[in-house]
Structure 1
Amino acid sequence: MTEPFVSAHDSFYIIKDWHEAVPGLVAGFSTKAGGVSTGDFASLNTGFHVNDRPEDVRANRVKVGRLLGLSAESWIGACQTHGNRIACVTGADSGKGALDYESSFSDTDGFYTEEKGILLTLVFADCVPLYFLSRKHKRVGTAHAGWKGTVLGIGASMVEQWKRDGIKPGEIEAVIGPSICQSCYKVDSRVIDKARQWLDDCYPLPFSPVAGEAGQFYLSLQELNKLILMKAGVPPENIRSTMQCTSCGAEFFSHRRDKGKTGRMLGFIGWKEGVST
């Protein structure tokens, strides 16, 4: 399968075919290059909550907004808590969590909208960014799926909310973005036990035991999220996954590789105003 993320600038990747096929759509994932942050956060840290200088985070966000053609004032951000709460947002929410942390949506790990001129944003450093698109209904969404959000089924929750609004799962496309790969992600049996609720009749399983380490497993959060989306009814041919690992890739921040002291990348999706879709 073709890699969905293509570098558009040193500072970010885009979901290429969505950009090419859907006029005005902006969807992608930032790198850690091209910002003003220093030290452990060098250089394009977009997370306010990691003890970086707030003025540097703001400058980084303003730069990314300028590059994308959607100014940071039009962004919407969240205080992410590894849950499965998803918010439907509109233009009235523009700017919340964009240039400060205090105005962020509280206890929120997913957004969706049908309005143009706003950019849905979440931050990541190994967790899985999920991107959603219904071309027919002109709706976009995104979710933050660490292991907790994944086993809570945040991807399935997004599909269920869209179904309630009349969008069939077969009308939903999903892309699984840059995140920690199975080879880099070791977890204990507690996590695997929680993942098993989604894995009836699934083969191959998205985890494998660590040789010589009882109760330890290598887990693919990307594959687990794909299986969850499929169980929610999204056709497998509508789901694409990246081959980019945030822990392997030096161009990304990684919470696990960097032992918890690191910056955050930005996952983003939205439509520009004034573009016919």
Structure 2
Amino acid sequence: MKLDLKYKNKEHIFDIREKEGVPYLVYPLLEETGIIKHGFSTRMGGVSTENCATMNISTTRGDAPEAVTENRRRIAAAIGVRPEDMTYTHQTHTTKVAVVEEKDRGTRFMETDGMVTNVPDICLVTFYADCVPLFFVDPVHKAIGLTHSGWRGTVGRIGEVTVEKMAENYGTDPKDVIAAIGPSICQDCYEVSEDVICRFRENFPEDCWPDIFYNKEDGKYQLNLWKANEHVLTKAGILKEHIATTNVCTHCNPDILFSHRTAGEKRGNLSAFLALK
């Protein structure tokens, strides 16, 4: 299945994989650690219909339960994990990051936007439709994190919270962490109001502002969540050369990726997957 994605630049950031008709995206930088399985879903390869067509595994979008179950089976088989090992968040734009233990396998963490674990085969799963997926791999202590970062999470530096949680629980040194910023809305497509920008001015140093936003004549602003999260991750101690930043925008690719800015509430969710081998 050929995915005709539109890219913001020509850098080779990720590979497109497919198994049994299910395409997904992977980051070579993460794969090179040799300790994880991971992926990011597209709209393709599932059985859902109408607004959720076709690959939606979220139970919050009004999708048919039997379709969600089949989609979970398909994407799990493609990535090489088991549906019963998938452990989920119910995201509410918090900066709460859960520590996932063996007893949590297959459960859902409510009002939680990030997870960390060092338990093999537990597959962390988070959901998206323009917000930013953040992947974290510590190849030294064999620990991982997966986090959902919308503008509120980015202002709250949830990426840094995730790294701190890994350090606290697993002894992670940020300099060892390999990270990826996943497909999400780009600056060209992400117009916000001044009240949002005020929050960024309060929480990011002034020398970062030109990277993160610019204002327009109508009083609106264009916000760069990719660059903002890069600043968060480097401030957390992750080396710049250890960060792979997406060059694919969800809003620019509405036929391939779900986008809230494109479809509003009438849509499915994309999903990020990360598991230790």
TM-score by length of 1: 0.90
Question: Would the aligned equivalents of 2:116 and 2:166 in 1 still touch at CA under 8 Å?
Answer: no
Residue number among 71, 96, 118 corresponding to 1:85 in the alignment: 96
> Quick one: distance in 2 between partners of 1:233 and 1:23?
22
Residue number among 251, 266, 272 corresponding to 1:267 in the alignment: 272
Question: Within 5 Å, which residues of 2 pair with 1:124-273?
Answer: 124-165=128-169, 166-196=171-201, 197-202=203-208, 204-210=210-216, 212-214=217-219, 216-249=220-253, 250-272=255-277
**What residue in structure 2 maps to residue 3 of structure 1?**
12
One-letter amino acid matched to 1:208: Y
The Cα RMSD (Å) is 1.5
Question: Would the aligned equivalents of 2:87 and 2:104 in 1 still touch at CA under 8 Å?
Answer: yes
Verify: 1:59 aligned to 2:98, yes or no: no
Report SS of the residue matched to 1:27. strand
> Identity, % of aligned pairs?
36
Verify: 1:122 aligned to 2:126, yes or no: yes
Question: Would the aligned equivalents of 2:135 and 2:147 in 1 still touch at CA under 8 Å?
Answer: yes
Question: Would the aligned equivalents of 1:3 and 1:241 in 2 still touch at CA under 8 Å?
Answer: no
CA deviation map 1:3-28 (0-9, x unaligned): 33210115211112432x23351122
> Quick one: distance in 1 between partners of 2:179 and 2:247?
15
Question: Would the aligned equivalents of 1:3 and 1:242 in 2 still touch at CA under 8 Å?
Answer: no
TM-score by length of 2: 0.90
> Quick one: distance in 1 between partners of 2:12 and 2:146?
19
CA deviation map 1:80-119 (0-9, x unaligned): 11101101112321111xxxxxxx2111110111111110
**What residue in structure 1 maps to residue 3 of structure 2?**
none
Q: Which moved more, 1:255-264 or 1:231-240?
A: 231-240
CA deviation map 1:141-173 (0-9, x unaligned): 110001111111100101222233432221112
One-letter amino acid matched to 1:204: P
One-letter amino acid matched to 1:53: A
CA deviation map 1:56-99 (0-9, x unaligned): 11211111111122111011001111101101112321111xxx
> Quick one: distance in 2 between partners of 1:219 and 1:59?
37
> Quick one: distance in 1 between partners of 2:95 and 2:186?
22
Gaps of at least 5 residues in structure 1 are: 97-103, 273-277
Alignment coverage as a number of residue pairs: 262
Question: Would the aligned equivalents of 1:91 and 1:117 in 2 still touch at CA under 8 Å?
Answer: no
> Quick one: distance in 2 between partners of 1:45 and 1:107?
20
> Quick one: distance in 2 between partners of 1:38 and 1:203?
42
How far 1:259 moved relative to its partner? 2.5
**Alignment CA distance shift 1:271-1:167 (3 Å):** closer
Question: Would the aligned equivalents of 2:181 and 2:226 in 1 still touch at CA under 8 Å?
Answer: yes
How far 1:235 moved relative to its partner? 1.9
Q: Which runs of 4+ in 1 moved over 6 A?
A: none
**Alignment CA distance shift 1:157-1:24 (3 Å):** closer
> Quick one: distance in 1 between partners of 2:241 and 2:80?
31
Gaps of at least 5 residues in structure 2 are: 1-9
How far 1:227 moved relative to its partner? 0.6
